Chains A and B, each alone.
Chain A
Amino acid sequence: MKRAFPGLLLFVLLIAWPGGAAAQPAHTGPMPSGRFEPAASLRRDAYLARRDEAVRWRAAQTPLANAGLADLAARLALRQDAPGVSARLIEVLRTPSGDMFWMFPVTCIAYLGRDQLTPEARAALREAWRTYHPLRGDTENHWVMYYTSMLLMAQLWPGEPGDRWFNGKSSDEIAAEARAWLRHWMDLTTTIGQGEYDCTHYIGEYLIPMLYLSVWAQDPELRQRGRMMLDYILADFAVDSLQGMYVGAHARTDDKTVLERWNGLSSFFAWLCFGNTAPPAAYGGWGMFFAVVAEHYEVPEIIHRIATDRAGPYLHRERKRTRHRWRHSDVRNAPVYKTTWVGPDYAVGSDQGGLLQPIQQHSWGLTWAAPDPRGVHNAIFANQPFYGAEELMMYFTEMPDWMPASVTFQGKPTYTSEAKLLGGSPYEQIFQQDDTVIALHRIAPDAPFVQVNGFFSKDLVRAEEDASGWIFAQGGRAYVAYRPLAPYEWRPLEGGGRRLRSPHARNGVILQPASVADFPSWEAFKAAVRALPLEVRLDPEPRVAFTTLRGRRVECAYGEPPRVDGRTVDRAAEWKLFAGPYLNAEVGSRRLELTHGRLTRVLDFNTLTITDAVRP
């Protein structure tokens, strides 16, 4: 009896609360193969099945009495218990909070519930948009959520005067303002690049509003724009992904995802749209607000193929832009030059260094493929830990002195830490040729931390400090040679692994990876790297001349443009908006061409057309 009772209790609990029985099969189950399914109908069925898994899990997760907005949206998507959902919605709307993170979930519920919610619930929704004053926010993702929500809600309640809205504007005024901002943002993005580019989490805050726009906007122009931007952002992710992991340089990532590369909201979208990885816990949280409307999106075959075809390595370049610069800059949006090399075993990506984004910038790194990346710190990179009011004043408009401390209690606790592994630095200059990265540092003596931090994962197969000065390591099927240019020491990392701390003002790192398949042995790889011509000088400025494993002679000097095989690289002239085998766009063109094999798709924002073609 003693043994039977706990089991009986568990059984009763599972019956009483369906959420307790609901697993997240894709999150905890085996990794999917990631193989591209050529049959369109099967691909679509699999996509809808994944969507169904996520929505059903959410709908069963929380008793209605405690349901939040995501739970209610899931129930509405499944058309479950509309009276109960309505009653609970009225309760939830009594304490609105979260600004734009309240707006788009409520917009979603309002639209999903148009033919389900009770009149009382619809009235509560209407009243909430009169009495609750959500803030517009101060970043690009905030504005996308805010204006998309404003547009759709003004459309839902047209012709109403200003006293019916929290901001005092009429429905017509709200719609006109939102339309103007959305056009402006799309124009910026398709001419000089996205500001919060390639974000491992915030990608959701772009994809979700664009899905809503593509599905619910009555204006055919905005509906088309939404659909095109959805493809645009998804394609931008697909080309910079490996096994569904967002790789390379990011405008924003976080302390968790920069190490465990799979564990970001972006992996939810890879799972849902491409089926080539597992979703994060709770389907990425916010991902639910995409899932509940996902049936209205057809993932383009060409994007699916770009995301999953890793048969051969490719080099991809992009031009992005910084967020708006308010102070300490003569340009509103400075260019960001990105390079990503993607192969089957690993990917390497970088930007040019500098303060390109505040707080959460990830400038360069290698991500290796892992059979199951869950819990694996499959990355190697370095950064110059920097923080300061100068950076924050550039990208935020507030008073200077309080900002660094305020960042640390706004969800970015490592911002002022010397051990930080996130963030850009004004003292870092980076160049990437193929899969080789050279980062040089010239750190001012009054910088917050005069040091370079290198990340060495707990999941490296091996790591050896070689007498040559190279550190040789292996992660998955990637061999990595890491060359610190100044003396260093090791520090343990919470969560495993080690931090290479190099406390020298003139500094740098060379990263030279290779695939295990490219060498007959570990010893052969090491011997090959040791034999590579390398000249290093740190005084008066850091300077490196290095011949890569691919035979390119790269010369980098701090404060000077890099040279490759004797030719000076002019990034401003050479970096297009997108350039590579799969995505191509000229700066200023408003036109993105996707290519895979015989397939092409052109997203032309000049004519608002999507053109598909198949080469015979």
Chain B
Amino acid sequence: MSRRGRHFFAGALALVAALAPRAAEAPRHDLHLLVNLSGPGSGIIGRAGQARSGLYRSADRATFEHVGPHHIRMFHLTHDPRDARVVYVAALDGLLRSPDRGLTWRITTSWDMTEGKAVAFDPAEPAHLYLALPDGIAFSPDGGGSWERRQAGITRAYTNALVVDRSRAGRVFAGCELGIHLSEDAARTWRRVRPTAKVTYDLRQSPHDPRAFVAATSADGLLVSADGGETWRELPGIGRERTLHNIVYDPVVPGRLVLCGWGVGVQVSEDGGATWADRSAGLPRREVWSVAVDPDIPGRLYAAPFQEDVYASDDLGRTWRPLSFGKATVFALGFLPRPAR
């Protein structure tokens, strides 16, 4: 066996060893979905509907429990890094906070900070909370107890994505209408590190390399940075013609990226975005709103085609099966840690 072959074999064994017990264990995360049901009985703002939209949670990835109020415009969620029971949802009303996994809720923002698009904690300063708004960025020093605007340096302030660099406190990226912006002083001042023609809809930091970032845009393709977000380049193979909604790293397998968008379907890369495989064949349509990689089940993907069921795949998108919801727009798919009992 060649040296390269031995390395591959050893690596594969290590991977199997790492994953096998996890597959047998109970999942450590719960799947969460922000759902707008659009089939019979659905409603629009101001008009009745019997279907219950809003936050759904699944422990077993097969049955889904509605949590909290009926709500047709919830866009993003996260949890308090100090306490997984504390859930935050960015929604039409502003930022909603539940201290008890969705039993009770409070809108933490007022009339001047609404239609939240994304919410992010600073892992290094876990009381610091950032909120993306359609007219800028808000900062809370106390987990949503109080808020102030922090968007100096951003023009055209529509913001749809936020990520806080886990390697340095107060280092924040924002996906705005005309580019990716960076703040290194907890959002007090911003500078544009990558101009774009239209909105950046998703931003992620690699769980494997803190200097690696990726951004999904509306008209500038898929952008990556390998130097901590200082410079960005467009990845080939995706193109600029379609709106990219969601880009996610596999939390376990380095180099694996999963992308979706409007007309894009689901695309999977195993080499950090150098090449892509179209994994949309088993989906009912190529307009895919959101995707997720299961952190507890190797090879498991989820995809939410527009106004269809949510789909799951156990072979990285080569085949898909419908899970639930019938007809829905899923604004976000995500995993939150399951709190200790």
Question: Is B82 interfacial (CB-CB < 8 Å)?
Answer: no
Chain A, 320-344, contact with B by CB distance < 8 Å: what is the 0/1 string? 0000101110101000000000000
**Residues of chain A in range 83-102 having any CB-CB distance to chain B below 8 Å:** 97-101
Beta-carbon contact of B46 and A177 below 8 Å: no
Complex alpha-carbon distance, A508 and B262, angstroms: 36
Determine, out of A136-144, A189-197, A219-227, A293-301, the stretch whose residues face the partner at the interface: A136-144
Given known A101-B46, A180-B111, contact A166–B158 (CB-CB < 8 A):
no
B107 touches A167 (CB 8 A): yes
B106 and A326 within 8 A (CB): no
A190 to B59, CA, bound (A): 53
Please, what's the 1-or-0 string for A331-359, where 1 marks a CB less than 8 Å from any CB in chain B?
01000000000000000000000000000
Which residue, of B45, B92, B177, B243, has the highest number of chain A Cβ atoms within 10 A? Answer: B45
A142 to B47, CA, bound (A): 12
Question: B48 touches which one: A97, A328, A330 (CB < 8 A)?
Answer: A97
Give Cα distance in the complex from A385 to B73, angstroms.
Answer: 29
CB 8 Å contact bits of A395-406 with B (1 = contact, 0 = none): 001011110000
User: Does B29 touch A at the CB level, under 8 Å?
Assistant: no
| Residues B243 and A399 in contact, CB atoms below 8 Å apart | yes
**Residues of chain B lying within 8 A (CB to CB) of residue A147:** 111
Are A138 and B306 within 8 A (Cβ)?
Answer: no
Residues of B within 8 A of A177 (CB): 110-111
Could you tell me if B45 and A138 are in contact, using CB atoms closer than 8 angstroms? yes
Which chain B residues border A411 with CB–CB below 8 Å? 44, 47
Give A179-202 interface residues, CB cut-off 8 Å to B: 180-181, 184
- Assess the A410–B44 pair: CB atoms within 8 A: yes
Q: Does B72 contact A (CB under 8 A)?
A: yes
Closest chain B CB from A2 CB (angstroms): 44
Question: Which residues of chain A have C-beta atoms less than 8 A from B177's C-beta?
Answer: 327-328
Distance in angstroms from B99 CB to nearest chain A CB is 10
| Closest B residue to A402 using CB positions | B306
Q: Which residue of B lies closest to A180 (CB)?
A: B111
Contact B115 A168 (CB under 8 A): no
CB neighbours of B72 from chain A (8 A) = 135
Q: How far is the CA of A400 from the CA of B217 in the complex (A)?
A: 12
A133 at the interface (CB under 8 A from B): yes
Interface readout for B36-62 with A: 1 if CB under 8 Å, 0 if not?
Answer: 000000011111111000000000000
Asked if A138 and B115 make an inter-chain contact with CB atoms under 8 angstroms apart, the answer reads yes
Q: Is the CB of B48 within 8 A of A168?
A: no
Please report which residues of chain B, range 107-139, place their CB below 8 angstroms from some CB of chain A when the two chains form the complex: 107, 110-112, 114-115, 117, 134-135
A180–B113 CA distance with the chains assembled, in angstroms: 13
B48 touches A163 (CB 8 A): no
**With known contacts A138-B92, A168-B105, A327–B156 Cβ distance under 8 A:** yes
- A169 interfacial contact with B, CB 8 Å: yes
Residues of B close to A133: CB separation below 8 A? 69-71, 105
Interface string of B290-334 (1 = CB under 8 A from A): 000000000000000010000000000000000000000100000
Min C-beta distance of A168 to chain B, whole Å = 3
Q: Are B199 and A327 in contact (CB under 8 A)?
A: yes
Question: Which B residues touch A97, using CB under 8 A?
Answer: 43, 47-50
> In the complex, what residue of chain B is closest to A99 when comparing beta carbons?
B46
A347 CA / B204 CA spacing, docked (Å):
57
A521 to chain B, nearest CB (A): 52
B93 close to A327 (CB less than 8 A): no
Contact B46 A137 (CB under 8 A): yes
Interface flag for B79 (CB, 8 Å): no
Contacts of A166 in B (CB 8 A): 69
Judge whether B287 is part of the interface by a CB distance below 8 angstroms.
Answer: yes
B201 at the interface (CB under 8 A from A): yes
Whether A162 is near chain B, meaning CB under 8 Å from some CB there, is yes
Q: Which residue of A lies closest to B263 (CB)?
A: A401
Q: Kindly name the residue among A99, A137, A162, A397 whose own CB sees the greatest number of chain B CB atoms within 10 A.
A: A397
Bound complex: CA of A143 vs CA of B112, how far in Å? Answer: 12
A192 to B18, CA, bound (A): 63
- Does B245 sit within 8 A of A, measured CB to CB? yes
Are the C-beta atoms of A326 and B93 separated by less than 8 Å?
A: no
Evaluate contact between A401 and B70: CB separation under 8 angstroms: no
Q: Are B218 and A400 in contact (CB under 8 A)?
A: yes
Assess whether A399 is in contact with B245, with CB atoms less than 8 Å apart: yes
Pair A98/B106 contact, Cβ less than 8 Å: no
Residues of A within 8 A of B329 (CB): 402
Q: In whole angstroms, what is the CA distance A181 to B111 when docked?
A: 7
* Chain A, Cβ-Cβ closest to B54: A133
- Asked whether, in the complex, the Cβ of B134 is within 8 Å of the Cβ of A168, the reply is no
Q: How far apart sit A142 and B69, CA to CA, in the bound complex (Å)?
A: 19
Rounded to whole Å, the gap between the CB of A524 and the closest CB of chain B is 52
B106 CB to closest chain A CB (Å) equals 3
Q: How far is the CB of B111 from chain A (nearest CB, A)?
A: 4
Is B146 located at the chain interface by the 8 A CB criterion?
no
Determine whether B104 belongs to the interface, using a CB cutoff of 8 Å to chain A. yes
Q: What B residues does A101 contact at CB under 8 A?
A: 46-47
**List of B residues within 8 angstroms of A402 by Cβ:** 262, 287, 306, 329
A98 adjacent to B47 (CB under 8 Å): yes
400-459 of chain A: CB within 8 A of chain B? 400-402, 410-411
Complex Cα distance, B178 from A330, in Å, reads: 12
Let me know if A397 and B262 touch, CB within 8 A. no
The answer to whether B93 touches A135, judged by C-beta atoms less than 8 angstroms apart, is: yes
The residue in chain A whose Cβ has the minimal distance to the Cβ of B261 is A401
Choose among B46, B115, B134 the residue with the greatest number of A CB atoms under 10 Å from its CB: B46
* Cβ B134 vs Cβ A162 within 8 A: no
Q: Which of A133, A180, A184, A328 has the most CB of B within 10 A?
A: A133
Closest to B108 in A: A168
How many Å lie between the Cα of A137 and that of B199 in the bound state? 23
- Nearest-neighbour CB distance to chain B for A152, whole angstroms, equals 16
8 Å CB interface, B133-169 against A:
134-135, 155-156, 158
**B111 & A169 in contact (Cβ 8 Å cutoff):** no
* Binary B-proximity of A253-265 (CB < 8 A = 1, otherwise 0): 0000000000000
Contact in complex: A169, B107 (CB < 8 Å): yes
What's the minimum C-beta distance from A399 to chain B, rounded to whole angstroms? 7
Q: Are A180 and B69 in contact (CB under 8 A)?
A: no
Are A136 and B46 neighbours in the complex by a CB distance under 8 Å? no
Closest to B105 in A: A168
Residue of A nearest to B117 (CB): A397
Residues of B within 8 A of A99 (CB): 45-46
Contact partners of A324 in chain B: CB under 8 A = 135
- Across the interface, B104 reaches (CB within 8 A) one of A143, A168, A332, namely A168
Q: Is the CB of B110 within 8 A of A180?
A: yes
For the complex formed, measure the closest distance between the CB of B43 and the CB atoms of chain A, giving whole angstroms. Answer: 7
Residues of A within 8 A of B201 (CB): 399
Distance between A92 CB and nearest chain B CB, rounded to angstroms: 12
21 contacts between A and B (CB under 8 A): A97-B47, A99-B46, A133-B105, A135-B46, A135-B73, A136-B114, A138-B45, A138-B92, A138-B115, A143-B111, A162-B106, A167-B93, A169-B106, A169-B107, A181-B111, A326-B134, A326-B158, A327-B134, A397-B134, A402-B287, A402-B329
Nearest first, the 5 A-B pairs at minimum CB distance are A168-B106, A133-B69, A97-B48, A397-B134, A401-B262
A positions within 8 Å CB-CB of B = 97-101, 133, 135-138, 142-143, 147, 162-163, 166-169, 177, 180-181, 184, 324, 326-328, 330, 332, 397, 399-402, 410-411
Extra contacts besides A133-B105, A135-B93 (10): CB < 8 Å: A98-B48, A99-B46, A138-B73, A162-B106, A163-B104, A166-B69, A180-B111, A397-B115, A400-B243, A401-B262
